[in-house]
Structures are given as structure tokens and as C-alpha cells.
Amino acid sequence: MDLTRQAETMIDLLSSDHSEEDDHYQKFQLGRGSCLYVTRLWDGIVLWGNEIRLDKLSYPMALFNENDYLLLNICHAGRCEVELSPGTYVYMSPGTLNVSASPPKSSYCYPGGHYEGIELCLDLRRLEGYMPEALTDYGLTFKVLRGYTEERNTMATLTNAAIQEEEKLFRMLREGCSSVYELRFAALSLICHLIGGDAQKIDYGVSITKGQRRIVTEAEQMMTDDLRKRYTIEELSAHFGISASAFKKYFSAIYGKPVSQYMREKRIERAKELLETTDESIGEIALASGYEHQGKFGSVFRDSSGVSPLEYRRLNRKT
């Protein structure tokens, strides 16, 4: 999925002169239920909401080379990859903030194919000569912004209060019916939380190399391509020539959960899709989801969804 047109629009929103009456909001449909909700808060400051149901979005880094940017990325669902240094990665989880002085080199990656959050992009060259008073009044001066660029990446965890403010702002973006003044007020409220102690800097945790990432993502592809096939940790680790303990460590670092939990969720996700969109029997859906025994499938499905497969189909069938 290419973001060139969307990135060009963001650059235009960041770098062009706008009046208060200009259209400040745009929505981009990316396919498979993925959307970007983009708004210009002030000249040089663009906010967008990410609602992603894809594993990767290619990103036109070259468009950003002429300017100096600061990016604040907050995750409230799913996971997002952050490149700490060339070939070394860590992963954002719900309730985390990443402050970065540069966009990704080639793409945004979302382990598990699901991510939601907001991102604030600031054009520092433009803001050097003009900082909105609404920001400086709250202590967010240009000097403070420039200080964040001294580190390539900063990671922090957010308090529940800050997360609630972020989710409120995301909903406003997704609904698309708020004025720029309402969005500014909500963004300022969130910023107050971030600079007022509701964002605590953390260590990056387990970092993953390019080779380790390749192993885990290829293994995930093997496991999810055909859910009828089941692989043990020992089989997968032997296939890629690493120890079972190393494989489990790398997998949890990237996908945020153990292999068994991740695959159970993928199987139930697939079963729900088939229940909603096909006339296949419960037994056929159980097999397609990787369960040889219909009774076992029904038990796992009920534990996960709170209803039986038949009841789920009745409630969610898409004609």
C-alpha cells in the first residue's frame, strides 16, 4: 500500500499558508478497513489518526528529506515497529509514546496487521519562526521541541488519564465532525498531560535485529498461511536454526504475546470471518481454523467470544 499521495497532502498541509477558513480535514481510505484521518491544527503542525488493518504501509521518505520534522506517535491498540538505528527495531504497544526526529526509512510495519493511534507531525523549520501562542502558553516552546531531536527516538509509557485523552482525540478524528478549534482544544489537553508528567520515559526493552525480524515474520507467515497446519516451537526453531527459547523471545518482542496465544487469536479471527461471510458448516469452519474436533473448537470459541459459533453467526451474519 503506497502512501505517496497521502504524504504529499500532509507536506502541503504542513508547509503551505492557510487561512482559518481553509478545509483542515481529509480522510484517506487505504483498503481492508484501513483509514487515515488527517487534519491541520496550525501551520506547520499536522495531526492524523491511524486506523490500520494491514501488516505494512510503504512510506515515501524522500518527500520529507528537505525539511526537519518531529513526530509524536501514540499507540492505543495493536503494535507498531520503531527503527532505533539501522537494522535494529523495537515495538510500540498500547499506552506507549514514541518521539522521533525522522520518519521511517521505507515503511510503517504493524505486527499482527492491526494498529490504532494518533501521530503529531511538526515542521520545525517552519515553527522556528512561528510558534502558536496556544502551545507556548502551555510551555511547549520551540526550544523544548528542538530538545527532543537530540535523541533519535524516545519511548515513554502513558498514564490512564493521558491514554483516555488520546483515545478521545482519535474518536474525534475518526468521526470527522469536529471543528479545527475543537480539535485544537483536545490536542492541547493531551499535550498538557504529556508535558505535565503523564508520560514516563522508559528503556526500549528487547531490541530485534533485521535477521531476527526476518525469522519471526517468516515463521508467522508459515503459521497463518494455512491454519489447518500446526507447527511446534521446536519445529519452527529447528527450521530457522535457532533455539526454541530464542524463537519465543523474538516472537513475543515483535508480536507482544506468546506464539500459542497469538495463534489462538488468529484461529478465532478466521473462524469469525467464515461465520460472518460463508454458509460453511461449523465442522468445516473448525477444520479451516485449525481444529480437528468441533467440540474443542466450540469450547475455545465460546471462551474467546462469549457465545457459541452458531450464536455468533446469527448475530453477525453479513448478507
Average pLDDT over residues 186-212: 91
pLDDT of residue 9: 58
Give the domain range for residue 191: 4-201
Average pLDDT over residues 257-272: 96
- The total number of residues shown for the chain amounts to 319
Please tell me the distance from the alpha carbon of residue 208 to that of residue 206, in angstroms, as a whole number: 7
Domain total in the chain = 3
Looking at the predicted structure, is the pLDDT value of residue 1 above 50? no
pTM: 0.85
Comparing CA positions, the residue from 242, 241, 249, 251 lying closest to residue 217 is 251
Residue 2's pLDDT band (cuts 50, 70, 90): very low
Average pLDDT over residues 256-271: 96
* 118-168 per-position pLDDT tens digit: 999 998 888 988 899 989 988 888 888 888 887 778 899 999 999 999 999
Cα distances from 236 to residues 92, 110, 242, 247, in angstroms, run 25, 22, 9, 8
Q: Are 105 and 58 in contact (CB under 8 A)?
A: no
Indicate if 52 and 186 belong to the same structural domain. yes
Indicate if 134 and 225 belong to the same structural domain. no
Indicate if 243 and 268 belong to the same structural domain. no
Residue 243's pLDDT band (cuts 50, 70, 90): very high
* 33-62 per-position pLDDT tens digit: 899 999 999 988 999 999 999 998 876 554
Looking at the predicted structure, is the pLDDT value of residue 65 above 80? no
**Cell numbers 502558536 correspond to what residue?**
132
Query: Within 10 Å of residue 209's Cβ, how many Cβ atoms?
Result: 12
Greater confidence, 149 or 310?
310
**Which of 256, 276, 295 finishes a domain?**
256
pLDDT of residue 66: 47
Indicate if 169 and 65 belong to the same structural domain. yes
* 72-110 per-position pLDDT tens digit: 999 999 999 998 888 899 999 999 999 988 666 667 899
Average pLDDT over residues 256-273: 96
Residue 28's pLDDT band (cuts 50, 70, 90): confident
Q: What is the mean pLDDT of the chain?
A: 88
pLDDT of residue 7: 54
Indicate if 296 and 240 belong to the same structural domain. no
Indicate if 39 and 182 belong to the same structural domain. yes
φ, ψ at 298 (rounded to 5°): -60, -40
Indicate if 59 and 92 belong to the same structural domain. yes
Indicate if 143 and 241 belong to the same structural domain. no
Q: Report the CATH number at residue 313.
A: 1.10.10.60
Indicate if 104 and 145 belong to the same structural domain. yes
